[in-house]
Chain A
Amino acid sequence: MGDSTDRELLSAADVGRTISRIAHQIIEKTALDAPDAPRVVLLGIPTRGVTLAARIAEKVKEFADVELPTGALDITLYRDDLNFKPPRALASTSIPEGGIDDATVILVDDVLYSGRSVRSALDALRDVGRPRMVQLAVLVDRGHRELPIRADYVGKNVPTSRSENVKVRLLETDGTDSVAIAPYGGPTR
């Protein structure tokens, strides 16, 4: 539930439009509806990245009539902070049929912050196969990168201060679609 001090950035309608725009951008950039199109695979980073990946796939089907193989890539075991934080529960990994070799893999996550989660995802991909290209789609880029990592598709750029907390809510996991900024709430994950 939202705090009264939360500042809403994206309403439910905004979230829907943003996801549609990302889907259009993916179709355009990867040319996935061309006759000689490369194989494009969406891999969501649990938890909300998986939901977003599914939504993007739905929109791509709607706009380009192409069904993108979609899956989940749990990065917990590849995190660089495992021994500095309390133990985490593992999330599910499912690599779609046909694997990722020689495919264009688009990693999907809700918030891009330090870049360490994405770096962990790249490390995980390395052990799964060899994609021809890896791209990144995020709903929100909140700045403060600690590694040289950038997104190919960004829903919204949101400058934030480190003490702020970006809260992404999605219908499937949280009952509603919204993106809000909370003044202090610790790390989102």
Chain B
Amino acid sequence: MKHLLAASDLSRDAATAILDDADKFREALLGRDVKKLPTLRGRTVITMFYENSTRTRVSFEVAGKWMSADVINVSASGSSVAKGESLRDTALTLRAAGADALIIRHPASGAAQQLAAWTREDGHGGPSVINAGDGTHEHPTQALLDALTIRQRLGGLEGRRVVIVGDILHSRVARSNVSLLSTLGAEVVLVAPPTLLPVGVSEWPVTVSHDLDAELPAADAVLMLRVQAERMNGAFFPSAREYSVRYGLSEKRLAGLSEDTVVLHPGPMLRGMEIASSVADSSQSAVLQQVSNGVHVRMAVLFQLLVGAGREVIA
């Protein structure tokens, strides 16, 4: 595997291998004082974040550093992008500076694939590109860490019912999760107001509903999404309060869930909007476990992309 551009590119075996490796990384570091593995020593990993991020950027940096890679963060605001430098020139510059891996987050859908095309070199050369979120398209490492969290909490993914709630229209997290969860054998239900569902959602391998209360009782996992106000140019619901009342995970709704149902949120959370503060902090909420899994998943992805010659895996 040279790049990780989309969850839809991952076969069931490839995705399962990443989840299994992530668990092994967690085990390998458990209880250690020295959280360091020598595996990526001498490799240069450069992150290019054209959008704000706390979780994703920090966890990629921690993942790379724990594996002894040299990690450099470039954010658009402090760089020559602010002077008008194009994405392509930025990428070529970073490749020329020695990047073995480029991790890109960008507001344009398709940016990661475009980057992989521009930085390709003959033979299997050129840096590996990891998509950290491109517009409203995909965020594959998020889907992987969500799947891993569900797998850990529920003991498996096959046949489990995962309900994804919120701004599906603008959500790359939703798209990647729908893709990955169905590849891994889970049943996916989308709950959103009609205005926040994309055209063509009927073609997706999901059930669609507008009634959150009707879908919660049968849910094994509930994934709450933030309303992506920064990607909206129009009015999609009458008021934030009405959205929250109809589609927010309130304390009352949490009480109605089965005790084993796990609550997830990719973050950042807007407490009081899509999720009540007490729900976010409840024992059923796996948000911090998601973050910790995020580091291990990103270690697994870097390992699979940057280590080893050739294609097949030796067991």
> Which A residues fall within an 8 A CB radius of B?
74, 77-78, 82-95, 99, 123, 127-129, 189
Inter-chain contact total with CB atoms closer than 8 Å: 73
Q: When the two chains form their complex, are residues A86 and B311 in contact, meaning their CB atoms are under 8 A apart?
A: yes
Q: When the two chains form their complex, are residues B313 and A127 in contact, meaning their CB atoms are under 8 A apart?
A: no
Q: When the two chains form their complex, are residues B308 and A86 in contact, meaning their CB atoms are under 8 A apart?
A: yes
**Smallest Cβ-Cβ distance to A86: which chain B residue:** B310
**Smallest Cβ-Cβ distance to A120: which chain B residue:** B38
Tally of B interface residues using CB under 8 Å: 28
Q: Which residues of A contact B315 (CB under 8 A)?
A: 89
- Asked whether A86 and B314 contact (CB < 8 A) given A74-B24, A93-B28, the answer is yes
| Any A CB within 8 A of the CB of B96 | no
Q: When the two chains form their complex, are residues B39 and A89 in contact, meaning their CB atoms are under 8 A apart?
A: no
Q: When the two chains form their complex, are residues A90 and B309 in contact, meaning their CB atoms are under 8 A apart?
A: no
Could you give 5 example pairs across A and B, Cβ below 8 Å? Answer: A82-B308, A83-B308, A89-B21, A91-B24, A99-B31
Q: When the two chains form their complex, are residues A84 and B24 in contact, meaning their CB atoms are under 8 A apart?
A: no
Q: Give Cα A84–Cα B308 distance, bound, in whole angstroms.
A: 6
**Smallest Cβ-Cβ distance to B299: which chain A residue:** A77
Q: Give Cα A86–Cα B33 distance, bound, in whole angstroms.
A: 30
Q: Which residues of A contact B304 (CB under 8 A)?
A: 87
**Besides A77-B28, A86-B313, A89-B20, 9 other A-B contacts (C-beta < 8 A):** A78-B37, A78-B39, A82-B308, A85-B308, A87-B304, A88-B313, A89-B17, A90-B24, A127-B34
Q: Give Cα A74–Cα B303 distance, bound, in whole angstroms.
A: 15
Q: Which residues of B contact A123 (CB under 8 A)?
A: 38
Q: Which residues of B contact A89 (CB under 8 A)?
A: 17, 20-21, 313-315
Q: Give Cα A78–Cα B34 distance, bound, in whole angstroms.
A: 14
A-contact 0/1 string along B12-56, CB 8 Å cutoff: 000001001100110110111110111100000000000000000
Q: When the two chains form their complex, are residues A85 and B309 in contact, meaning their CB atoms are under 8 A apart?
A: yes
Q: When the two chains form their complex, are residues A90 and B310 in contact, meaning their CB atoms are under 8 A apart?
A: no
